Amino acid sequence: MMSIVCPVCKEECEHQVLREAAELVVQCSVCGQVHRIPKPPEPRIFTIRAIVSRETESQVCSVEMLEGEVVSLGDQIAAECGDEVYGVEVTGIEAGEKRVRRAKAGEVTTLWTRGIEQVVVKASIHTGRTTLPLYQTAEGEEEFVVGEAYTFGGRRIRISHIKLRDGPVMRKEGWKTVARRVKRIYGYLEGRYPRP
């Protein structure tokens, strides 16, 4: 469900999303009117240079962050190093010439990180009006299933599809993969939209 102004009721009402394409087809839960609304724009994704230190070695990797997302010292995030993904903890943030304690994605020039044992899985969760970036630490072999609900970053979400690091997008309900293969999980807050 999403809350928008209904053209018939002339006030903000809950609407059910019937179909997603170039536009959203929605139905008012008060009067039953079906109408189209523009699809909310997808947030811009920044690819940020990350130096990952593991034991005695360091390598140049990258981190994906959504526009407007904030990163802080001590955050645990996922870094992509070629075909591998590592859970890392942020130990330093460069924003231009300065070292800072926190910064928005568009301000960060380099992240300094250290490898940690677990994988950090990234998720983009659509709330109706905005997209929330969420992170969840998981064991590399932990399974994620399309259509199932999980607690992610302290919120209850339901997975709509999963983008794999080494393959296509998994959209079919019941399809599953392990955390280390996940590039990004997409979904919505549990109870926000009805299950198809």
Q: How far apart are CA 113 and CA 175, in angstroms?
A: 33
pLDDT surpassing 70 at residue 120? yes
The 10 Å Cβ neighbour count of residue 41 is: 8
What global pTM score does this model have? 0.51
The two tokens of residue 42 are 């997808």
The 10 Å Cβ neighbour count of residue 2 is: 19
Tell which wins on pLDDT, 115 or 184.
184
Mean pLDDT of the 143-163 span: 91
Q: How far apart are CA 193 and CA 196, in angstroms?
A: 9
> So what's the pLDDT on residue 162?
95
Mean pLDDT of the 162-180 span: 88
Tell which wins on pLDDT, 140 or 77.
77
Mean pLDDT of the 95-112 span: 95
pLDDT surpassing 70 at residue 196? no
> So what's the pLDDT on residue 194?
43
Tell which wins on pLDDT, 175 or 57.
175
The 10 Å Cβ neighbour count of residue 65 is: 23
